[in-house]
Amino acid sequence: MNFPPLNITGLPEPDKISAEHSYKLASQIQQVIAGKGGAIPFSEFMHLALYAPAMGYYAAGQRRFGAEGDFVTAPELGDVFGQCLARQVAQVFEEIEAPCDILEFGAGSGRLAVTLVNELERLALLPEHYFILETSPDLQQRQRQMLTEQLPQYIERFVWLDSMPEQAISGVVLANEVLDAMPVEMFAVDDEGIAQQLLVKSADEGFQWDYRPADGLLAEQISKLELPAGYSSELNPAINGWIEMIAQGLKKGVVLLIDYGFPEHEYYHPQRTGGTLMCHYRHHSHSNPLTLVGIQDITAHVDFTAVAEAATASAMEVLGYTTQTNFLLGSGLADLVAVVDTDDEKITKEQLAKNHEIQLLTSPAEMGELFKIIALGKGIEHELSGFAFRDMRGKL
Ligand SMILES: C[S@@+](CC[C@H](N)C(=O)[O-])C[C@H]1O[C@@H](n2cnc3c(N)ncnc32)[C@H](O)[C@@H]1O
C-alpha cells in the first residue's frame, strides 16, 4: 500500500495560538476515533478537520482567504470574475423573466455577492432574493458584516440559510470553489487488485493511516473506474445527493459550478497514480492531510463527469462545460481589458492591477485552464453565452 507521506518539510511553523488550536481539535478527533472503535474513514476525518463546530478550518475564526490567509480565490482577486459571471446570470434572468433569485453556496468572505449585485444593479436585473447557504457560522457572520457595509441598500434581499430554501427557486445557483472543499473518500488498489478504503487512526503524536477493503457503494464506485494495482486516488461520496438536492430546489434556471478539476478520464488517468488531494497552509501546498489539523485547508479536485452524471440522473440538463478562460471570454472579458501602452503616463494603477488580475484568472499557468465551469439547468432554451467561445461537453 502506498500512503501519502506524513513528513513534510519546509512548512512555516504555526504560531502558538494556532498550534494550541490544532492540538485541541486533534484531541477531539482522537476521542471521536476512540468512540468509533479505533479508526474512521478519511472522509469523516476531513469533515471534522474542516467543519467541526467552532474548531474546524472553515468553522473557526481565522483568516483563510487572501494574501494573509492560505489561498486566494477568483472573487478575492478583484471584480473581473464577478462582473463576467454577472453577465451570464443576467442572460438567464432575461430568459426566465422576473422574479429571479440567486442561491450561492459557500460564499466565503461575501466578496462575490458584492460584485455580482453591483453589476446586476448596473444591468437593471437585480435578484429578488440573494440566498446564501453557508455551512460555517463564522463565515456567515463575516458575510453579513461585509454585505451590510458594502450593500446597505440591498441588505433586505440577502437571506442566510442552513439548508435549501423551503420553496423551489427560479434563477441561478452558484458555487465557486465549494465542491473542492467537500470531504472525499481516499482509496488505494492493492497488489491483488482489491480496493482498500483509507482510514485514519490515532498515533502517539497525531494520526496515522489505516485501511480496510472498500465495501458497498464505495467498492462499486471504485470498481467502475477500472484502476490498476498500485493506484490510489479519491472520490466525493456526497456528490450525487448534493446535486439531487439542488435539482429538487430549482424550479427553472441554471446551476453554475466553478472549480479546479477534470473529466473522469483525466482525473483517473493512468499516470495520475496518487490522486489530487492537496493541503494549503499559508500559501504552501503539500499532500499530508493528517498534520496541521484545523489550521490548514484540505481539498481535492473535482471529477466533472461525476457532476454531469449526477445532474442527468436528477433530471437536469448539462448546458455547458468549459475552462475558466473560455467562460470569461464568452462572458464579456474583452470589454473589461484595459489597453496598456507603457509610454502612456495616463495609465492608472487600477488599470494595471486589473490587467494583472485578468492575467491570473486566464493564464494557463495560473487559473485559466485548470479551473472549469459547468452549467446544469432546468427549463432553459437559449445557448448560454459563457460557453459560446468553446463548449467542451464532449470531453465529459
Ligand atoms: C474554498 S472556500 C470558497 C469560498 C468562496 N466561494 C470563494 O470563492 O472565495 C469554500 C467555501 O465553501 C463552504 N462550504 C463547504 N461545503 C459546503 C456545503 N456543503 N454547503 C455550503 N457551503 C459549503 C465553506 O464553508 C467555504 O465558505
Q: What is the DSSP string of 17-62?
A: HHHHHHHHHHHHHHHHHHHTTT-EEHHHHHHHHHHSTTTSTTTSS-
Q: What is the mean pLDDT of the chain?
A: 92
CA distance 258 to 242: 15
Ligand 1 atom with the smallest distance to the CA of 109 is 9
Instruction: Calculate ∠ Cα 86-88-93, nearest 5°.
Output: 90
The type of residue at 96 is I
Number of domains composing the chain: 1
Question: Tell me, what CATH number does 53's domain have?
Answer: 3.40.50.12710
Of all protein residues, whose CA lies closest to atom 10 belonging to ligand 1? 178
Give the 3-state secondary structure percentages of the chain, helix then strand then coil, rounded to 5: 40, 20, 40
304 falls within a domain: yes
Give the Å distance between the CA of 66 and the centre of ligand 1.
Answer: 15
Ligand 1 atom with the smallest distance to the CA of 139 is 27
What pLDDT is attached to residue 10? 78
Judge whether 182 and 238 are in contact, CB under 8 Å: yes
pLDDT of residue 339 exceeding 80, the answer is no
Ligand 1 atom with the smallest distance to the CA of 242 is 19
What is the biggest distance separating any 2 CA atoms in the chain, rounded to whole angstroms? 69
CA distance 374 to 302: 11
What pLDDT is attached to residue 341? 59
Q: What's the whole-number mean pLDDT along residues 188-211?
A: 95
What pLDDT is attached to residue 344? 63
Q: Do you find a cis peptide bond into 289, omega within 30 degrees of 0?
A: no
Q: What's the whole-number mean pLDDT along residues 34-57?
A: 96
pLDDT tens sequence across 45-56: 999 999 999 999
CA distance 181 to 51: 10
Of all protein residues, whose CA lies closest to atom 7 belonging to ligand 1? 108
pLDDT of residue 346 exceeding 70, the answer is no
Judge whether 335 and 396 are in contact, CB under 8 Å: no
Residues with CB under 6 A from ligand 1: 58, 65, 73, 75-76, 105-108, 133-136, 139, 176-178, 181-182
Cell numbers linked to 332: 464579456
Of all protein residues, whose CA lies closest to atom 13 belonging to ligand 1? 106
Q: What's the whole-number mean pLDDT along residues 361-380?
A: 95
270 falls within a domain: yes
322 DSSP β-pair partners: 373
Higher-pLDDT residue of 380 and 72 is: 380
What pLDDT is attached to residue 337? 74
Q: What's the whole-number mean pLDDT along residues 336-360?
A: 75
Q: Residue 227: which of 180, 275, 294 has the closest Cα?
A: 275
pLDDT of residue 5 exceeding 90, the answer is no
Q: What percent of the chain has pLDDT over 70?
A: 92
4 falls within a domain: no
The type of residue at 227 is L
Give the Å distance between the CA of 68 and the centre of ligand 1.
Answer: 18
Give the Å distance between the CA of 210 and the centre of ligand 1.
Answer: 29
The type of residue at 282 is R
pLDDT of residue 85 exceeding 80, the answer is yes
394 falls within a domain: no
Cell numbers linked to 369: 485552464
Q: What's the whole-number mean pLDDT along residues 148-177?
A: 96
10 falls within a domain: no
For a ligand 1 pocket test, name from 63, 102, 178 the mutation site with the most ligand atoms within 8 angstroms of its C-beta.
Answer: 178
Q: What percent of the chain has pLDDT over 90?
A: 81
Give the Å distance between the CA of 90 and the centre of ligand 1.
Answer: 23
* Residue 71, C-beta contacts closer than 8 angstroms, at least 6 positions apart: 64, 65, 280, 283, 297
Judge whether 116 and 82 are in contact, CB under 8 Å: yes
For a ligand 1 pocket test, name from 135, 142, 174 the mutation site with the most ligand atoms within 8 angstroms of its C-beta.
Answer: 135
Distances 106 to 139, 293, 335 between C-alpha atoms, Å: 9, 21, 29
What pLDDT is attached to residue 251? 96
The distance of Cα 322 from the centroid of its chain, to the nearest Å, equals: 16
Band of pLDDT at residue 64, cut at 50, 70 and 90: low
pLDDT of residue 148 exceeding 70, the answer is yes
343 falls within a domain: yes
Of all protein residues, whose CA lies closest to atom 4 belonging to ligand 1? 108
pLDDT of residue 196 exceeding 80, the answer is yes
Ligand 1 atom with the smallest distance to the CA of 74 is 8
Higher-pLDDT residue of 150 and 13 is: 150
116 falls within a domain: yes
Q: Residue 58: which of 48, 66, 68 has the closest Cα?
A: 48
Boundaries of domain holding 143 = 16-379
pLDDT of residue 37 exceeding 70, the answer is yes
Band of pLDDT at residue 283, cut at 50, 70 and 90: confident
CA distance 320 to 385: 10
The type of residue at 272 is R
Give the Å distance between the CA of 368 and the centre of ligand 1.
Answer: 20
11 falls within a domain: no
Output the pTM of the full model: 0.94
**Residue holding cell 487488485?**
193
What pLDDT is attached to residue 69? 66
